Amino acid sequence: MTTQPLCLPTVYLNGAYMPIEEAKISPLDRGFIFGDGVYEVIPFYAGRGLRAVEHLKRLQRSLDELDIANPYPIEKWLSVIGTLIERNGGGDIAVYIQVTRGVAKRDFPPPQGLTQTVFLMANKLATPKPELYENGIACVSLDDSRWLRCHVKATALLGAVLLKHESTQAGADEVVLFRDGYLTESSASNIAAVKDGVILCPPLDNLILAGITYELMIELARKNHLPLEVRRVHRREVKKADELWIMSSTKEVVPIVKLDDKPVGHGENAGRPGPVFKQMRALFNDYKRNLPAEPVLKAAE
């Protein structure tokens, strides 16, 4: 039983801000019945978003994939987010957005013209502790049993939940997933490998989510002339990699130091965060400290 608060006190539901205890939706919401919805998690550091607009563009792409109309223009999203952060006291916050197709009689074909359900909550952004960057995490490799539309940030996450459950039962922190022998991603983060100084990144296709952190990492590597290849990465290469990292909005960039009970890497770096990770971590921290200005988050009317 968790004793942690569910989320920060104020949430947004369908046009109104309210305490989480007062937020109610119908059990016939298609999000509840079918997982018929999409979501985003956007990190804010002292009120500044890490690529909030990119997250909102991805939200649009996910909605398009499900043929759900975007209920708000981008300015409205930004103003709702701004107010939510303000009403929860600001600071470092992860904003969670969920849009579902809405409430209807239970029937598989998506009806036209429903009113979308819009829910936002805020959580303290629990940036991983420094020890995590020094010690890294342990993973197990598993076959990627999720669906073939992993590029959609859908709320139907049972595949990921069960894989994560399997890793917990195996005593590991996370999973490294493979489809047809090739690296895809983790349960809720992207993965890159490093071999002989080259960062190897699975391509952005339907088999993985186009992570905002992942794309930022690729951009930072290119800008700083770190060798990088975007291509399919075979299981054999992963097993022999010098370094493995996971990346996401809530985890930032974290080294994997153990895979299937064996240390990742070789020689003096075996089982420890590698030099390329340390470079990337420094670049990421530098970017985070100097987040570029984005459209101002205005308080909503």
Residues found near ligand PDD in the complex (CB under 6 A): 41, 185, 188-190, 209, 211-214, 247-250
251 has catalytic annotation: no
Containing 200, the helix (H) or strand (E) segment is strand 198-201
Distance CA 166, CA 177 (A): 12
Query: Residue for token digits 């809530």?
Result: 250
Question: 195 pairs with which residues across the strands?
Answer: 198
Considering the complex, what minimum distance in angstroms separates the CB of residue 188 from ligand PDD? 4
Considering the complex, what minimum distance in angstroms separates the CB of residue 55 from ligand PDD? 7
Considering the complex, what minimum distance in angstroms separates the CB of residue 35 from ligand PDD? 14
Containing 254, the helix (H) or strand (E) segment is strand 252-259
Residue 284 neighbours by CB distance under 10 Å: 18
Considering the complex, what minimum distance in angstroms separates the CB of residue 104 from ligand PDD? 26
* Residue 298 DSSP code: P
| 62/104 with CB nearer ligand PDD | 62
Task: Identify the three-state secondary structure at position 280.
Answer: helix
| Of 268, 237, 241, the residue nearest 255 (C-alpha) | 241
| Of 218, 259, 217, the residue nearest 238 (C-alpha) | 259
| 30/153 with CB nearer ligand PDD | 153
Task: Identify the three-state secondary structure at position 260.
Answer: coil
Distance CA 176, CA 183 (A): 7
Check 124, 153, 164, 262 and give the catalytic one: 153
Hey, CA dihedral for 216, 222, 228, 231, is it positive or negative?
A: positive
Distance CA 210, CA 217 (A): 12
Query: Residue for token digits 């009689």?
Result: 105
Distance CA 271, CA 50 (A): 30
Considering the complex, what minimum distance in angstroms separates the CB of residue 4 from ligand PDD? 16
Residues serving a catalytic function are: 153
